[in-house]
Structure 1
Amino acid sequence: MKTRLPLALMSLLTFLFASARAHAEPLKVGDPAPAVTATTDAGTRIDLGDAYKKQRYTLVYFYPRAGTSGCTAQGCSLRDAYEELTRQGVAVFGVSTDDVAAQAKFKAEEHFPFTLLADPDRAVIKAFGVPVRSVPAIGEFAARQAFLIKDGKIVWADYKAKTDQQAADVLKVLAADKS
């Protein structure tokens, strides 16, 4: 009996430690933006570290699942404001756990002018510390969050991104940034 308690306790501690490490904290304003490589909706690889240097700002937004109503509203908000966003020097990247085919279909159906990143292995999601929720029998989904990057640093973080207000929220931040 004495050997079971330490073994059970060790198992519990191992589980708690592994769980704590699996849930990284989301990036905060002032943190360096992760220079992670990802796969685009076209199946090509992109280094986000290089992408940050090409525009004044980079918006990396996370959504749960391609083609769902909330994710479509979020993407369409950015699509509809894309001309204004690009005029202000913003490159936009959408990220979900979907594969390349799902991202390409979603982009084509909704006429998104920006790049979607397929992140089924969650490398980008983990690098940004975005929480992932598991839904039994359906799969894992990234939380809806957004990060605005300037000069390689997070300048704005939206941890509870609103689906149809995503572009308006970003444009408000841009209007306030006079640097």
Structure 2
Amino acid sequence: MALKIGDSIPDIELKDQHGKIFDFSSLKGVQPFVVYFYPKDFTPGCTKQACSFRDQYEEFKKLGAEVIGISSDSEGSHAKFIEKYDLPFIMLSDKDKKARELFGVKPNLLGMVPGRETFVFDMQGMLKYRFNSMNATRHIPEALTALEKMK
């Protein structure tokens, strides 16, 4: 079942790049946040997307939002990805694809590639915007526009 506009963030815990448990409920009531799902660390499109989020990270911070990337890669892979590309945001490991299922992120290209989808939540953890595109760089302006509209 896919998340719909107005739904609350699923109650889920995943490990971050340091192997620590990250609980999405910790962001509720604190700040808006952007959650983006991507296929795989170090692939060309995913690297371009992560670096675009990095390059615009200050814009997200100015809007009071945190950015969180999720893929099925391991915590160790995320740590290397973050170090190599100087990524300033949280990366979560969804090895069993539990988060993908709860958010309703479908695979692309005949089910061969994990989906690329971005979700924008308000400060209360309510979904305000959802964007699905394999075009990696389109996610950043879409998310920023959604956050600006929430202000």
Contact 2:120 2:147 in 1 (8 A): no
Alignment of 1:102-113 (within 5 A): 102-113=77-88
Distance apart, 1:172 and its partner CA: 1.4
Unpaired stretches in structure 1, ≥5 consecutive residues = 1-23, 136-140
Out of 1, 20, 37, the position equivalent to 2:13 is 37
Distance apart, 1:52 and its partner CA: 3.2
Output the aligned Cα RMSD. Answer: 1.5
Out of 140, 148, 151, the position equivalent to 1:175 is 148
TM-score for both structures, normalised by structure 1: 0.77
Residue 119 of structure 2 corresponds to residue 166 of structure 1: no
Distance apart, 1:161 and its partner CA: 5.5
Q: Deviations over 1:149-171 (max 9, x none)?
A: 11121000002253123221111
* Runs of 4+ residues over 6 Å off in structure 1: none
SS of equivalent residue, structure 1 residue 164 = helix
- Which one has a bigger Cα radius of gyration? 1
TM-score for both structures, normalised by structure 2: 0.90
Contact 1:52 1:58 in 2 (8 A): no
SS of equivalent residue, structure 1 residue 71 = helix
Q: Deviations over 1:49-71 (max 9, x none)?
A: 1123321x111100000110110
Residue 19 of structure 2 corresponds to residue 46 of structure 1: no
Unpaired stretches in structure 2, ≥5 consecutive residues = none
Map of 2:116 onto structure 1: 144
Structure number with the bigger relative contact order (C-alpha 8 A, sep ≥ 6) is: 2
